Amino acid sequence: MSIDWPETIYQKLKDVGVAQVSYVPDAGHTKLINAVIADPEIHSVSLTSEEEGVALTTGAWLGGDKSVLLMQSSGVGNCVNMLSLIKSCKIPFLTLVTMRGEWGEFNPWQVPMGSTTQTSFEMMGVHVMRINDPSEVSEVLAAATRMVFEGGSSVAILLSQKLIGAKVFEEAK
């Protein structure tokens, strides 16, 4: 039986009362983004840059709401300066990051940020968890949401390229 990991993530976010999800459109998050957009109880915000999501997460927390930022690993570098806000002000922060530049990557431009995503988060004081297999999704999400929404921590969950699948582009004929 195959585990529908985007649905598992969506359900866990609902279960813990996430009220806002911000995202930069990303193929790896498509199913989760569509579920959030269709849910009238979750405010979804499409971003032009990932750093905006850090600010929105901070505002949501200050307003009493739980929020999650969805992004791809290539956008993590855009957030480093804004992550200083999370670290300095001790803002609870949860981000789900679809990875590129690893398992079966065809695009060499994705490799540099993909190979430094975890280090970038850790340098900014964000705890990192990784999901490589659909069977890990529920347990990792439970641990991360508890750390963030009950413990006030900052957590990035890296959704490995092995989990989401390597992108394949066919040459135009």
CA distance 41 to 66: 12
Mean pLDDT over each residue of the chain, to the nearest integer: 89
pLDDT in tens, 27-82: 889 999 999 999 999 999 999 999 999 999 999 999 999 999 999 888 888 898 99
Which H or E element spans position 13? helix 5-15
**46 vs 160, higher pLDDT:** 46
Is 170 inside any structural domain? no
Which H or E element spans position 21? strand 18-23
CA distance 13 to 36: 10
pLDDT in tens, 74-112: 888 889 899 999 999 999 999 999 887 677 666 667 666
- Structure tokens belonging to residue 52: 């905006």
The torsion of the CA quartet 146, 126, 83, 124, rounded to 10 degrees, works out to 160
The model carries a pTM of: 0.91
Is 33 inside any structural domain? yes
Domain total in the chain: 1
The domain of 122 spans 5-162
Residue 169 pLDDT: 59
Is 127 inside any structural domain? yes
Written as one letter, the residue type at 17 is G
Is 59 inside any structural domain? yes
What SS3 state is found at 168?
coil
Is 21 inside any structural domain? yes
CA distance 38 to 69: 17
CATH value at residue 131: 3.40.50.970
Is 168 inside any structural domain? no
